Amino acid sequence: MINVTRSSIPSMEEYIKEISSIWESKWLTNMGEKHQALEKGLKEYLNTPNVTLFTNGHLALENVLSALKLEGEVITTPFTFASTTHAIVRNGLTPVFCDVDPVTCTMDVNKIESLITDKTCAIVPVHVYGNICDVEAIEKIAKEHNLKVIYDGAHAFGETYKGENVANFGDATMFSFHATKVFNTVEGGAVTYNNSDLTDTLNYVKNFGIPGEDRIVFAGGNAKMSEFHAAMGVCNLRHIDEYIEGRRIVAERYIENLSGVEGMCVWQKQKDVKHNFAYMPVIFDGCKYTRDEAAEKLAENDIKARKYFYPIMNDCECYGRNAESTPTAKYISDRVLTLPLYPDLSLDIVDKICEIITH
């Protein structure tokens, strides 16, 4: 079976060497040596002043929204994984769905201001497939309306726009380090931010609201990354450029094979973006097979592609089934298929996948 993705991991020997000191210290969680080492390494790699680790990306986003003490409505995109919207709602906030740009699949900045009301407190845009949001336009709108901006950067680890790492845009950015991501800690996540005043609050909120012995300052939760997960991150960070380079080779083979196929829109690089080649989305619109037919043909050959994102969030029963309000997002969701992509996927398999969906 060729899965849509496969986790990048170091050698067993490297990981065992990294975790051996845990047996000596017996320190398994609660922000120990490996946790601190990973935070330091991420600050350097992402060129960002502040990194706070979490047990996963969802809780990273949920907790930073809590730490910012937001109330009211949040403008976001329906073209995302469920976690983004759930994190908003679980903070007692109301998601307001903005349609997406037909090329990048990120939030359509021309439609944001029409959604702003006196209840709007923030914008939560999502970098999609490694495509970066129009951060300049979003910043301008946010400043004019005094809104917070929290990016969902789950697809954008390590990327830069005009030389600036995406970790530094907005008030905060969430990254997911799930096993399927470009950079993983098996399970994990982080928040990056420029305002160092957030650090203590984020550390409290992920540790039951406890700043130290004999004090509990608010009703926090438990979202601490373990030392074993942090150690995996320390190892994978050593190899991240190698992983991304492997992804580039695979992605460019897809682009070479599929560009120009009638009725098929293939992912292309954005201008001024240093990409991480996180995903290979293809939109089927008038080519030989529909999206669903192509997925079925691949499955018959033991190749797993993914309808990602499908359904969009405002086409889900828990969010009211109002997809007609965001027609572009709905259109893409009904036609997009992400093809297998990981660093060690052979080019022969890439050629086979392309042949199956075009012949």
Mean pLDDT calculated for residue range 85-104 = 98
Tell me the whole-structure pTM to 2 decimals: 0.97
Inter-residue contact 37 to 235 (CB < 8 Å): no
pLDDT, one tens digit per residue, over 175-216 is 999 999 999 999 999 999 999 999 999 999 999 999 888 899
**Structural class in CATH, domain 12-236:** alpha beta
pLDDT score for 214: 85
Residues of the chain with CATH 3.90.1150.10: 240-358
The single-letter DSSP state of residue 213 is T
Residues 88-102, mean pLDDT to the nearest whole number: 98
Q: Under DSSP, is residue 77 helix (H, G, I), strand (E, B) or coil?
A: coil
At residue 283, what are phi and psi to the nearest 5 degrees? -105, 125
Residue 224: which of 207, 208, 202, 210 has the closest Cα? 207
Task: Name the strand (E) or helix (H) holding 35.
Answer: helix 33-46
Would you give the DSSP letter of residue 114?
G
Using alpha carbons, list the distances in angstroms from residue 218 to 64, 177, 215. Answer: 15, 27, 9
Judge whether 291 and 305 are in contact, CB under 8 Å.
no
From the centroid of its chain, how far is CA 104? 15
Residue found by looking up tokens 């150690």 in the block: 231
- Which pair of structure tokens corresponds to residue 12? 């067993």
Please list, in sequence order, all residues whose beta carbon lies within 8 angstroms of the beta carbon of residue 109, skipping any fewer than 6 positions away.
Answer: 101, 133, 134, 137, 138, 141
Q: Where are the beta strands (DSSP E) in 205-329?
A: 264-266, 273-274, 280-284
Contact 7, 187 (CB under 8 A): no
Rounded Cα distance between 154 and 190, Å, is 10
Could you tell me the pLDDT band of residue 292, with boundaries at 50, 70 and 90? very high
| Cβ proximity of 37 and 234 under 8 Å | yes
Looking at residue 97, its pLDDT comes to 98
Q: What pLDDT does residue 197 have? A: 95
User: Alpha-carbon distance 148 to 122, whole Å?
Assistant: 4
Q: Which residue has the tokens 């037919």?
A: 293
Flag the least confident range among 15-29, 63-77, 211-225, 317-331.
Answer: 211-225
Region 97-122 average pLDDT: 98
Q: Any idea of the CA torsion for 96, 97, 101, 106, to the nearest 10 degrees? A: 80
Tokens of 117: 């009301």
Lowest mean pLDDT among 8-12, 40-44, 69-73, 212-216: 212-216
pLDDT in the model for residue 211: 87
Q: Which CATH architecture has domain 240-358?
A: Alpha-Beta Complex (3.90)
Domain limits, CATH 3.40.640.10, in the chain:
12-236
**What pLDDT is stored for residue 206 in this prediction?**
96
pLDDT of residue 47: 98
| pLDDT bucket at 265, cuts 50 / 70 / 90 | very high
Span 252-281, mean pLDDT? 96
